[in-house]
Chain A
């Protein structure tokens, strides 16, 4: 099938780009080693924003040397962070799509069962994606990278703030928690989709009812674990900083990305002749969610920003100072991509029914939310040393390739219509 070929192309493109990844690591290490031994010259070239500070304190050679050391750590972190951003982004896409799918079960929505197979296929990536993220976290805790500063005993020894947090932020507990989150998500994903797929063999209301119970349980489990995962995996990178809104903020981002991916894959399948029973009212509904959750994301983004901006407390404001000074284009660009474009493009009711407009808006939203995750992770790990280079694009292609392969492979294995779902008839007739 065309789908598998497409997936394979994605994966091979991803794998071909991994050598670049490794080479890039070496190049960067050499470059920063050079910077380390020669003094600060190459570090200065790489770094526009902090070099200003260097000019100001020009006489203090000790500062410059420590700056070069910092730059070296940041550059070493860069490919790791790039990989981490992509791993989290795609895991959260499939998790967001799965949450959407589970909500359809709980609310017993009549319009959506025609899209169930697409959602199930996307959620299948939770299994390999979760394992990959877990492996990555284990590698981090083995000190192969320095994404999480609180894992470094030397830093903790000199840092009272982290010492106070170490009851929660310590490596064994961190890994146990991650195992619980990912294990739980995988378990529920397997359980719910298995019951749903069993209904293909024959109508069985008890399976349907069981799935509603499991879905309610999953949502409760997810609400807690998702918040904690976003503290553990994202917020703890900026160890001193905290935001009580982080869980919601990450959730909004993953939810809109997941729904957008459902819409994109549905439109793609329709355009190559599958899913003929999906009509433009279904696309319209997905686009409404894309629009609505984009606004919701902006609301949370601004709620977080405005309180910190208004109170102006140094320990909180530093989070935005880094982003404003070193990442200004991406920082403001992410609001443009995630708010202004979806607002203007998807506001019109008729536009939400036009496939190419939904695709266009969807791609913009996905790019915007990749940048959103990039902005949550990169400033804490590489500071001013960011760039979109082979490492970032390679990681994106690699993980994206695996994601597409798993998704389209899952799609090709099952009939695309859940024939025995009790609500399938209503869903097919759905017309707005």
Chain B
């Protein structure tokens, strides 16, 4: 909370006869809200600031001959403002009349109808009649702007909110205003499709129905939607989100205005558009048991009985170490808590949420809030880019950079084209690149390389400087899973527990025949672990593997028992985001018949095991306490979190790096065609020197070959930010079983196909 402003920072003025005091510099459009009056706006937006384009926010200020715009006029001492009255009403009605001159009155078929600012303000402040005697101008009505957005040029009121979002917030600068006068229109500068991680926000910013989401066009009237506010669980940011449901279908998701703490009012396209999986026909809707190599449908009671029997046989034999349960990053706090508690009650200690590459989610007590991040004077990132792992958080990074923060990327990562950054080779250089006058530094880590994280922390830590740490995990509730006790060495609220074995160690145990039964809750390690092929071998060696899933993923396919689980929009609970905010999730719709939530699945298992369950109140109390517990004793890059498996790769060839991409992930994205359409082409990026040495040109097609496996037909790209000796893959699931190449393997380039040189016309 900001402290109360000093009296000298306050300005006294009168708006519509009401005296008020506001902070110096406040714009009239904002000050007016404080006296419960409204100044209509189209181009102004709280997060974008004034633009002065629409001219509808006219106010009358005593002593000024002309009407003024409320969006770009700051308060002044003694100012007397009128937001209504003859003069204002006349000017405002004129502007609204002009906006309607060429605006088509196709409201009956416009998606915005019912929540349109042009409708609402015309109703409230418009003239009611029109003197227009000529046809309205005719412009293209359904312009395909890119994979997500359709533009109706006739409806556009040229407020340029979308253009300014792309420039000021996203930093992508793809959208521009083209042509001039009444012929002007929104388009991409290059003519290429409008495509980045945040495009959907422009449909919310658009005050009219000019920019609409392909996924929602002509689907519903807004008043027929049932809205539920929840938190997005696609990544570790946990953006507040409105889910709009009609007749049992999620039709759209919207950001939550006023969510300054987490989302800053934005959503990424992954969070916004990955709702198509909910109704996908591929969803599993009944427990499936592997019998003679094929899955057969069974009932829930039978499923729980078989599972309990498998666990009991190990426990009763006095060998709880032969039992393991994994997952949590995609569960709610309540589910993770109940799972950890049930397992620990049985004496099972092989618990771990870390089935992918990320080793740690809780940054310890040096963690900062998301608001702190945008006030940092320097931001050092190690590991993969937050643009891919935690996209909406990356908008804070961009905001900080726009306000002058230095972005220093250790190792090669992506940054939006307009961002200033420094690429440095190691953490010592990063520390050296920080300007001396910077006292607040943010350190962003993808949670993978713990030694690097520790080194970075100690290199940046200085007397008199604030060092705030963030772990930009890709899983929605990894931090919650840690707090709830889904770690082999820590119980609920980080209390030290008897050490079990982590996921990698249990995989080794499985290969050695030491694991009898394993359960994986909402995770797909065959796809997400660094060496998916090895994980596959391990899971295949588990006699009774249980997987809870929405889809028949690479991991589920190996299971003895697959249990259909509810998705994120189908259950309520809470999560902990990467900044430690405890955020509620709320069910927007019921799961399909036959599908249970992971919570209900754990309850069913516990009952079958005849374990006494805590009551709802106790679960609530315990999860709230654990979620709010300070992660005292956890260090950034904590050694206890480090995996047991050694990193591979030495020898000949190029070092492979698989870069995370926001639109790649588990089953919910693989089973959502709208997300699949947003994925980049499978690409291999080479350092300039390597490309020259190997004779690779940008646009070539190449294959990568390792000692085991091959990835074929990759688009070659040259990046001068890559260091020689490395090749970076985007849009490819290396490390998965399908290509047999480990994500950190050494690879050779084979079969270079040059792009045909286009013939000059």
Q: Is the pairing of A and B real? A: no
